[in-house]
């Protein structure tokens, strides 16, 4: 039984169909990438997993159906979504943003420990803990979004374009932290990326999506070697 | 000079009441981006509940008339429940409706609450007791009720501040009002947070109603003027700023009293609120502490 499995997902915004029967699966503890160009339906796929867009089809997480459930209930099953646009609570402080990530948790002492652990990963956030989150730089807000998701102690993290708008050096730092979190804490990750090269370096498996369908799937290494992918997405 | 000090202090007492009601307006504004025109009538209805509890009790349940503070407590809880119910039953269905539709719903609520109260309790003006003993007055400067009303307002404001600033639920309510989508993604039940916000706003309004009723007397239209001052207060402070609303409330209370007593006379007092509303909207629409909204075109 797959850890996360989507079967023929369809989704539309109003009259416009965006997903035309996407199917994929991922194993526990792995990092899986969804690759594709603008408008391929990557963000919508993540939104569908979180119940943020109406879908047809089947989504199973640990064998349990997720489709049709409210976002708040999906989060309570241990799925943390780092959304497109970062989703910062701009008028709250950095630390309040982080505490909100742990909103559903009852183990207060562990939440405090996690807060310190995350400040260890991202010292910049500690420096800015009492600052209004809206005043953080784009890179810092992306780190905040990832950290807020980690505060849930998720089983699965959905990351929507974590590299978007970040300087290459910061992307590398962020991705290495994601790798550490995956290895040390066994958090599974589903990453949506336009930056295919970075995503393939990070991930174990990958799916290539074009206009709302999966057109290719395999291990990250196989996908890297695929000629069509190399020409269209890796650019060499 | 004594007369002036008296007017300023009396202004602070009513100002506190405006501040509470303005705060209730701001809370609902932050969640819905609309001004709840029915806020005053909700407060008035709660005050009638208090009046009935104090004077009649609940004969249907065999409950005799209650002492003031018990009635006060029961009223605050009933107002809270009523606020939650109004949000769930009336406001929820128009959540995504156009602005005008929601405004019409607010106005309908206002008229319905007003008429229902008139039908239940008649439109005859009633007196409403003050719970404060005469020892706490400051003689020529402040009446016992004025001192007590300031005290109650302060307690309410401090409790609200502590609640929103330091409790996880308060934080979740602020988050839900600001960014519903991100709030859902951390597991906050946004719909319930909004309902809770309405409940709190209604409870605060109920307290404001009970504090102002001994001054303006109890009748179904008692909150008309008070709500106008509260609008002015919220706008002066900045409609999206809770602290600003409180400041605006005290400012409007003092201005209203001082101008009414020494400059324009009591008949024109209400005009102060209207002039403030128009003045703020034309000169500085975001108020003193409000955020200036910039839209890309």
On whether residue B278 sits in a domain, the answer given is no
CA distance A200 to A191: 10
Measured in angstroms, the CA of B283 and the nearest CA of chain A are apart by 25
Candidates A48, A81, A95, A100: best to mutate against B (most CBs of B within 10 A) is A100
Measured in angstroms, the CA of B169 and the nearest CA of chain A are apart by 9
Which pLDDT band, with edges at 50, 70 and 90, does B143 fall under? confident
CB-based contact, B179 to chain A, within 8 Å: yes
Contact A83 B174 (CB under 8 A): no
On whether residue B58 sits in a domain, the answer given is yes
CB-based contact, A104 to chain B, within 8 Å: yes
On whether residue B241 sits in a domain, the answer given is no
User: Residue A203 — φ and ψ, nearest 5°?
Assistant: -100, 165
Q: Cα–Cα–Cα angle for B139, B140, B141, nearest 5°?
A: 95
Candidates A52, A81, A89, A96: best to mutate against B (most CBs of B within 10 A) is A89
- Tell me how many residue pairs between chain A and chain B have CB atoms under 8 A apart: 60
CB count, 10 Å around CB of B294? 6
The whole-chain average pLDDT of chain A stands at 91
Number of domains within chain B:
1
pLDDT (tens digit per residue) in B115-129 = 999 999 999 999 999
On whether residue B91 sits in a domain, the answer given is yes
CATH code assigned at A131:
3.40.50.300
Contact between residue A34 and residue A44 where contact means Cβ atoms under 8 Å apart: no
Contact B181 A83 (CB under 8 A): yes
> Residue A47: which domain range?
4-234
Contact A75 B185 (CB under 8 A): yes
Record the tokens describing residue B85, joined without a space: 């119910």
Residue B138 has pLDDT above 80, yes or no: no
Residue B31 has pLDDT above 90, yes or no: no
pTM reported for the whole predicted model? 0.88
Question: For strand A16-26 and strand A4-13, is the pairing parallel, antiparallel, or unpaired?
Answer: antiparallel
Residue B288 confidence (pLDDT): 84
Could you report the predicted ipTM of this complex, rounded to two decimals? Answer: 0.91
Record the tokens describing residue B1, joined without a space: 């000079």
Token pair 């919220």 in the structure block, residue: B234
Residues of B (155-174) whose Cβ lies below 8 Å from A: 168, 171-172, 174
DSSP state of A93: B
Residue B137 has pLDDT above 70, yes or no: no
The strand pairing partners of B183, in sequence order, are: none
For residue A47, give the nearest of A86, A13, A83 by alpha carbon.
Answer: A83
Which pLDDT band, with edges at 50, 70 and 90, does B198 fall under? very high
Contact A152 B181 (CB under 8 A): no
Percent of chain B residues past pLDDT 70, beyond the cut: 97
B168-174 long-range contacts (CB < 8 A, ≥24 apart) are B168/A99, B168/A103, B169/B196, B171/A92, B171/A96, B171/A99, B171/A100, B172/A100, B172/A103, B173/B197, B174/A91, B174/A92
Question: For strand A205-210 and strand A213-219, is the pairing parallel, antiparallel, or unpaired?
Answer: antiparallel
Sign of the CA dihedral with A118 first, then A120, A121, and A123 last: positive
B186 closest CB neighbour out of A90, A91, A101: A101
Q: Cα–Cα–Cα angle for B245, B249, B252, nearest 5°?
A: 130
> Residue B73: which domain range?
17-221
End-to-end CA distance of chain B: 54
From chain B, the residues in CB contact with A103 under 8 A are 168, 172, 186-188
For residue A151, give the nearest of A179, A122, A194 by alpha carbon.
Answer: A122
Question: For strand A4-13 and strand A55-61, is the pairing parallel, antiparallel, or unpaired?
Answer: antiparallel
Q: Cα B102 to chain center, whole Å?
A: 19
Cβ-based burial of B207 (10 A; exposed 0-12, middle 13-18, buried ≥19): buried
Candidates B167, B185, B240: best to mutate against A (most CBs of A within 10 A) is B185
On whether residue B57 sits in a domain, the answer given is yes
A87 closest CB neighbour out of B179, B187, B189: B179
Mean pLDDT of A5-26: 89
CA distance B109 to B173: 24
Contact B188 A92 (CB under 8 A): no
Measured in angstroms, the CA of A98 and the nearest CA of chain B are apart by 10
Residue A158 has pLDDT above 80, yes or no: yes
Q: Which residue has the higher pLDDT, A63 or A77?
A: A77
Residue B86 confidence (pLDDT): 95
On whether residue B193 sits in a domain, the answer given is yes
Number of domains within chain A:
1
For residue A46, give the nearest of A14, A17, A6 by alpha carbon.
Answer: A6
Token pair 């002066």 in the structure block, residue: B236
Mean pLDDT of B61-70: 90
Contact B182 A87 (CB under 8 A): yes
On whether residue B66 sits in a domain, the answer given is yes
CA distance A13 to A44: 9
DSSP-assigned letters across all residues of B69-114: HHHHHHHHHHHHHHHHHHIIIIIGGGTTS-HHHHHHHHHHHHHHHH
CB-based contact, B96 to chain A, within 8 Å: no
Residue B286 has pLDDT above 90, yes or no: no
CB-based contact, A228 to chain B, within 8 Å: no
On whether residue B258 sits in a domain, the answer given is no
Helices (H), B167-189: 168-178, 180-185
The whole-chain average pLDDT of chain B stands at 90
CA distance B45 to A166: 55
């Amino acid at each position: 039984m797959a850890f996360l499995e989507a079967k023929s997902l369809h989704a539309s915004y109003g009259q416009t169909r965006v997903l035309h029967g996407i199917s994929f699966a991922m194993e526990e503890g792995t990092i899986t990438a969804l690759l594709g160009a603008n408008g391929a339906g990557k963000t919508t796929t993540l939104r569908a997993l979180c119940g943020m867009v109406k879908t047809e089809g089947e989504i199973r997480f640990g064998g349990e159906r997720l489709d049709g459930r409210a976002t708040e209930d999906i989060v309570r099953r241990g799925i943390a979504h780092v959304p497109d646009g970062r989703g910062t609570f701009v008028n709250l402080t950095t630390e309040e943003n982080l505490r909100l990530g742990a909103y559903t948790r009852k183990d207060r002492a562990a939440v405090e420990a996690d807060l310190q652990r995350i400040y260890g990963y991202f010292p910049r956030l500690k420096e800015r803990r009492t600052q209004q989150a809206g005043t953080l730089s784009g890179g810092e807000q992306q780190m905040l979004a990832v950290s807020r998701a980690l505060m849930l102690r998720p089983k699965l993290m959905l990351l929507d374009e974590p590299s978007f708008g970040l300087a290459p050096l910061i992307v590398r730092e962020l991705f290495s932290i994601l790798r550490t979190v995956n290895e040390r804490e066994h958090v599974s990750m589903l990453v949506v990326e336009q930056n295919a090269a970075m995503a393939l370096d990070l991930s174990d498996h990958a799916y290539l999506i074009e206009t709302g369908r999966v057109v290719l799937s395999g291990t990250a290494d196989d996908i890297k070697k695929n000629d069509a992918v190399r020409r269209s997405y890796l650019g060499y | 000079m004594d007369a002036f000090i008296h007017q300023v202090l009396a202004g602070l007492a009513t100002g506190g009441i405006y501040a509470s009601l303005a705060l209730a307006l701001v809370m609902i504004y932050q969640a819905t981006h609309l001004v709840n025109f029915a806020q005053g009538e909700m407060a008035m209805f709660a005050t009638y509940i208090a009046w009935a509890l104090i004077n009649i009790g609940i004969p249907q349940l065999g409950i005799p008339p209650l002492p003031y503070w018990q009635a006060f407590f029961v009223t605050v809880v009933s107002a809270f429940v009523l606020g939650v119910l109004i949000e769930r039953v009336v406001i929820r269905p128009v959540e995504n409706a156009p602005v005008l539709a929601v405004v019409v719903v607010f106005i309908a609520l206002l008229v319905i609450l007003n008429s229902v109260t008139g039908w239940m309790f008649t439109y005859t003006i009633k007196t409403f007791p003050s719970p404060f003993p005469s020892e706490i007055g400051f003689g020529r400067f402040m009446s016992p009720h004025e001192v007590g009303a300031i005290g109650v307002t302060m307690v309410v404001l401090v409790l609200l501040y502590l609640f929103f600033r330091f409790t996880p639920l308060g934080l979740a309510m602020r988050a839900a009002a600001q960014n519903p989508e991100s709030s859902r993604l951390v597991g906050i039940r946004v719909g319930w947070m909004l309902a809770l916000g309405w409940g709190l706003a209604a409870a605060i309004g109920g307290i404001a109603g009970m504090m102002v009723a001994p001054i303006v007397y109890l009748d179904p239209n008692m909150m008309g003027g008070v709500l106008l001052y509260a609008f002015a207060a919220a706008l002066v402070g900045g409609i999206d700023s809770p602290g600003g609303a409180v400041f605006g409330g005290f400012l409007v209370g003092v201005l209203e009293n001082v101008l009414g007593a020494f400059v324009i006379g009591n008949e024109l007092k209400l005009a102060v609120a209207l002039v403030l509303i128009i003045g703020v909207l034309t000169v500085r629409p975001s108020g003193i502490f409000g955020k200036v909204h910039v839209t890309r075109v």
